[in-house]
Amino acid sequence: MSTRLKADQKGKVGKRKQNSEEKSDVEFGVKKSRVPQNYDIAGNHLSFASSSSQGLAQSTNLSKMSPKNYETILRQFVQWTQAAEPVAVNFLAKANWNIEYAMTLYFDNPNLFSGSAAQPSVDVSKNERFFNQYIHKEDGLGDKRIGPNGVQQLLGDLGYQPTDRRVLILAWKCNAQTQCEFSLKEWLEGMTTLHADSVQTLRQRIDSLDAELNSDKSKFRELYLFAFSYGKAAASRSLDLETSILYWDVLFGNNRSTLMSQWIDFLREQERQAVARLALDVGQANAAKMKHVWITRDTWNLFWDFIVLSRADLSDYDDEGAWPVLIDQFVDHCRSSLNYPTPQPAGQPMEQRSYY
C-alpha cells in the first residue's frame, strides 16, 4: 500500500513538473524540440549534443525561420567566432539570421546561451601562423617581432589608416610596449583577449570595441590612459605637444569639440611664446628646434576628466580642486579672453554671458 502511494505521488509530481515546463514554454514563446543530428554543411557533418546549458537551437528555427542559405551563414559565424555550432545556431536564430547582428550579440555576451563553458577557443598554432604572415626581414627584428613594415601590411589587410583609433585599440588589447611593433607574446595575448585568429575575426572584434567606446566611458578611459605610455618615448616621462595633439585627435576624432579646439590653440600659443622668449638668447632657429610644452602623465590623465565630464561652459570647474597647473591656466584663459562665465562669491548668482 505504501509503495503504491509513493508511486502515485511520484507520478503526480512528475505530471506537475511536466505541466510547469509546458506552461513556461508557452509563456516565453518557446517550443522545445530536438535538433536533428549530423546534418551536412558543405560536406561536413555537424553533431549537436543535447545540453540544457547550451540551449540548443530548435528545429523550427532551422526549418521555418532560417533563410535558404543558412548553411553558409552558420559556417561563416562558426569560422569567425570559433563558437560551438549549437551556440552559433542560437545566436543566429535570435538575430533572425542576420550574421552581423548575431556576431554583435555574441561578442557582447558570449555566454548568453552556453554558460561559462562556451568561451571561444583560440588556436595558438593558428595565431602563430597569423603572426608570421607579418614578419619582414627588412625590419631586422628577428622572427619573434612584427616591425613597421609588417604593421603596415597588417593595417592594409584590416583596411585601417595609421591614424585610425582602431589601430590604437589593437595595440591596447595586445598591451604593446613599442609603437609600430608587436612581439609574439603581445600578439598571442592580444588575440586571446580578442578571440581572434584571422584578419576577418580581428577586424570584426576591433570594430565592435570601437563602437562600444562611444557609449562606455570606463572602457574609453582605459584606452585613453594606455595611450600616454604607448605614445611617449621610452626614456621620456612626458609627451611633447605635437605627439599629445596627435593622440587626442586619434582618441576623440578630428571633429574636435569647441573646448578641445580652444585647449589645443591655448597650448600652441604657450609653445609660441616660449620660443619667442628663448629666441632672444639662442636665436629663432635654435629656439624653434626645442620642445617647450610637455604634457605630464598627471595632466594627461586628469584632462580626460576635464574634457569628458566638465560642462561645456566650465561653470562647474572647481578652482580649489587638485587640477594640474596647465589646466588651471587654461580655465583662466577661457574666462579672461574667451568670455567664459566667471564664478561669483557664494550667495551671488553667476553672471550670464555667452561665449559663442
Q: Are residues 176 and 104 in the same domain?
A: no
Q: Is 11 among the domain residues?
A: no
Q: Is 62 among the domain residues?
A: no
Q: Are residues 295 and 203 in the same domain?
A: no
pLDDT of amino acid 283: 81
Q: Is 101 among the domain residues?
A: yes
Give the 3-state secondary structure of the chain.
Answer: CHHHHHHHHHHHHHHHHHHHHHHHHHHCCCCCCCCCCCEEECCEEECCCCCCCCCCCCHHHHHHHCCCCHHHHHHHHHHHHCCCHHHHHHHHHHCCCCHHHHHHHHHHCCCCCCHHHHCCCCCHHHHHHHHHCCCCHHHCCCCCEECHHHHHHHHHHHCCCCCCHHHHHHHHHHCCCCCCCEEHHHHHHHHHHHCCCCHHHHHHHHHHHHHHHCCCHHHHHHHHHHHHHHHCCCCCCEEEHHHHHHHHHHHHCCCCCHHHHHHHHHHHHHHHHHHHHHHHHHCHHHHHHCCCCEEEHHHHHHHHHHHHHCCCCCCCCCCCCCCCHHHHHHHHHHHHHCCCCCCCCCCCCCCCCCCC
Q: Are residues 242 and 333 in the same domain?
A: yes
Least confident range of 15-19, 138-142, 209-213, 283-287: 15-19
Q: Is 99 among the domain residues?
A: yes
Q: Are residues 102 and 131 in the same domain?
A: no
Q: Are residues 252 and 284 in the same domain?
A: yes
Q: Are residues 243 and 279 in the same domain?
A: yes
pTM value surpassing 0.85: no
pLDDT of amino acid 344: 63
pLDDT of amino acid 286: 77
Q: Is 174 among the domain residues?
A: yes
Q: Are residues 243 and 331 in the same domain?
A: yes
Q: Are residues 96 and 132 in the same domain?
A: no
Q: Is 102 among the domain residues?
A: yes
Least confident range of 144-153, 164-173, 287-296: 287-296
Taking only the tens place, the pLDDT of each residue in 91-133 is 888 888 888 888 888 877 777 765 444 445 678 899 999 999 9
pLDDT of amino acid 28: 34
Q: Is 14 among the domain residues?
A: no
The mean predicted confidence, pLDDT, of the chain is 78
Q: Are residues 128 and 103 in the same domain?
A: no
Please give the tally of structural domains in the chain. Answer: 3
Q: Is 179 among the domain residues?
A: yes
Q: What is the CATH number of the domain that holds 316?
A: 1.10.238
Question: What domain range includes position 257?
Answer: 238-338
Q: What is the CATH number of the domain that holds 129?
A: 1.10.238.10
| pLDDT exceeds cutoff 60 at 306 | yes
Q: Which whole number is the average pLDDT over 197-208?
A: 95
